[in-house]
Structure 1
Amino acid sequence: MEAYLEEKRAALQEKAAEQAQEEKQTVVTLTVAECGEFHNFGEYHEGIADVPEAIAIFNRIPPERMNGIPSIGINIHTEGTESYEDTQMDIVSGRVADLEILDYVPDITDNPKAVEVIAELIDKLPDIEVRGSLEKWQAAFLAAEIDQLSYNYDTVQYNQTVEDREAQIANITEDIRNGNTGYLNDFLNALISDSIREGMTDIIGKGTELDDSEGVQTARKAKELLDKLAEYKPLAKIEELEECNYNMIDNVLNNEKPKEEKQAGRISIKEKLAEKKAVIEQRDKSDKEVPEKGTEKKSEREI
């Protein structure tokens, strides 16, 4: 028991340290320039809060007095730093959005809010030419959120069952990109059912307010991730081939690893899910037979 409490205490300290780090937030805004190449030539707007406002300003620039190709850009400011340290880049130039260059700007692609803003910008400009895709970063962010939810739900059990967190997230990302999300949907649905039960215990048994119940908050987050999985659109197979095949030699895809190499060392996420589902089904069966029995934490919380 003492060993368990010590491990739980260490996990809580680690979580507190992560939350303190997250407090250093970033602010994502948009820019509009009359001349994308030289922002000081002609009209320039910065600190734009949302996409519709940026598009409205962009469309209001009179074509007859443009000093160059107009652009809409993104700016990322980290609180507590100087403005000259901001990350700034034009996303839309004229009628073209070049997303391929984002591969070389990790400060943008590592920021979920920035990618979300760019996705909204592209969605609201349907007539422009889009080169590249945000799909791989969106999948990675979604995978990281699912993994983080699993970690938060039972940190001790997570640390006992997941040896390589980066590999876990990479495998989930790959499955999301390939549309293999059935087991993720099952996991999140099971987590919702489990968390709602715990939330009811908090509210009815302990008198906890709805928004203060950890179980309710977990269920809400799991539902949010379920919705994101449903909305996510993986690349069509032809798009995947084009993405890999930017430098084909003798009709050979030179940028794609063999399938057997991809599968090496893969974490057995689906087996873990099967174990969790079996535990939950057994517990639900017991609850029906003995209604007054209290709920308890499951031994397996992992994907």
Structure 2
Amino acid sequence: GWTGERIRGDYDQLMEKVEEMDEAVMAEIQKSQGEYKPLAKVEELEEANYNMIDNVLNNMPPKKEAYLEYYAAECDEIHDMGAYEKSTDVKEIAAIYEKYREDPENAYKGSGMGIIYRDPEDSLFDETELLIVMGTTIHGDFLDNVRFLKDQPVVREGLEKIHKALPDYKYIPIQDVREAMYPKKMTTEELAAALDEIAEDFDPYDYRDHVEPGQDTIQEVMLDLQSGNVGSYISFLKDVIEEDCEQSVWAGVLLERLKSYEPDISKETEPMVYVNYCEKRELMEPRCQKLSDLDSRTAQKDKEWYADRNPRTDEPMVTAQMFFTIYYAEKGDKMLQHFKGKIDIGTGNGGILSQLKLQNELKLTDESWIGYLKNKGNEEFQKCMEDLTDMQNHVLPYLQSFCSLEEKNVQEKQERQVAEKQDSRVEASRAANVTKGDNDKAVKKVVSSMQTEKNKATTKAKKPSIHERLEINKRKIQEKQGKDELERGADRDVRTV
């Protein structure tokens, strides 16, 4: 019908219009780009792309790199309240900053020196300003919380330039630099060496006054740390930090390492001795040494000096007291244990371990000592007796296992002391009529003569075990109970000689 013919006529006109528009567009393309050509091969297209990329890379304008400006302000908080200078020359700005600080009128303003980060390609961080120098301290730690700036090489380089321009100022590096000063997990030896170094650098004159030439201070500090004495070193480091000196930064890092320190005790830690004092200086060098070595030395000296006695008084010509601290660790211990002791060298009682055994056994059998402990209360008495028994049964045998010397016959010496106590009661009554000085001399002579006689009467009988000796001592104590106070008083006078 007429309707279909009309639609068909409109469609034909529309298509003619589309063709006309296509021809017009193509004419414009040909006019601008030249005559239309069919598509090139794939290889030709790829080559064209490579050439285009190369052209862009070689001919594009270079990217502007980031750089730093430095500023100095009389009032860092509000720049408008005083003079303000900025430049890319760090030395120039450092000189201006020091000039601001020297002016007393600027004291209340709070002068400062810092950096200005410039990056034309980064509109977000361009012209970022940060204070770095405050007072006489270069605060690299101010960058710790500004991660973007902290990671920029140009900023780290600028921080080093400021440090070189102001070499006399205290310098606090960025956090990762501070962390790298010491390993995160430090051994006892590393901690001891670091503490010793800070102590010497912090106050060299005081250090030299207290440390003798050749003294192994690192070994001494190691023994302290391994025995749990960390508190004193923490207090020292806090004092260094408060002084706000060059060593303060190192002390702050080392303090964190020390707080997380755990003693590293090996399974075969050999007992050590620290000589607190000795009347013969030759036995104090070195101050720290192995127990086996010092025990051997003291035993040898005791033998030599005891052999050289005065023929008239039978007293040794040379004697010396030694005060020491023994450090040791048994299996399973997480830190070193230690105890103090004292011996008399030249008395014929052997080295350190021999004299410690003799002293311990005498305390277990000495009525005067036991009475003194009982007077302090039953609880204190039981504790002291347990400590003495533990020392006799466990500690001393353990220490002896590290020494090569043969154990002295402590039982014989204990019997000699018991004999002295019995015979001295008679001698004490005779000596009551002489002066105090003569009495001391007479008792010493009696004791020394009995020691000589007992040494001559020493037999080669087999020595009882520790447990057998303890049972013997207990029986003797029970047999001697009930003596009057007068006898115990006389007994005490003899033993105090």
TM-score (norm 2): 0.24
Higher RCO, 1 vs 2 (CA within 8 Å, ≥6 residues apart): 1
TM-score (norm 1): 0.38
Structure whose alpha-carbon radius of gyration is higher: 2
